[in-house]
Amino acid sequence: MTSNFKILGRDPSIILYALQSILAALVAFGVLGLTEHAAAILLTITSGVFALITAAVTRPWQVSLFTGAVKTILTGLVAFGLPVSEVQMGAIISALTIVLGLLLYGNVEPKDTAITNP
């Protein structure tokens, strides 16, 4: 099963994981000006939302959903369970997103859609 469904000419899972990593880096550098608690909420929610979107646009969706669930749980643990600063939280979540994104990339492919499958 090959598909032509792309976001910005790339595999949608890579784009979504890259956006999550960039967001975590922005939090780490304090660019967004969020409090530590607000940053934790933002990163955890976006992690879950991006996981659902990734599962919706890739196949097999179970792999994407499981990887996304692990990422969201670990993001929540780092954000709310560990005594780390906002900078450390952003760096850990950014690294976690990159590692899980690389693990996911080789195991899924973009979903066939009506647009890509005439």
pLDDT above 90: residue 95 = no
pLDDT digits 0-9 by tens, 21-37: 899 888 888 898 888 88
The range of the structural domain enclosing residue 86 comes to 12-110
Is position 100 within any domain?
yes
The reply to whether 93 falls in a domain is yes
Cα–Cα distance, 9 to 65 (Å, whole number): 23
Residue 115 in domain: no
Mean pLDDT across the stretch 47-62?
A: 87
Judge whether 33 lies within some domain. Answer: yes
As for how many domains the chain has, the answer is 1
3-state secondary structure 56-67: HHEECHHHHHHH
Q: Is residue 7 situated within a structural domain?
A: no
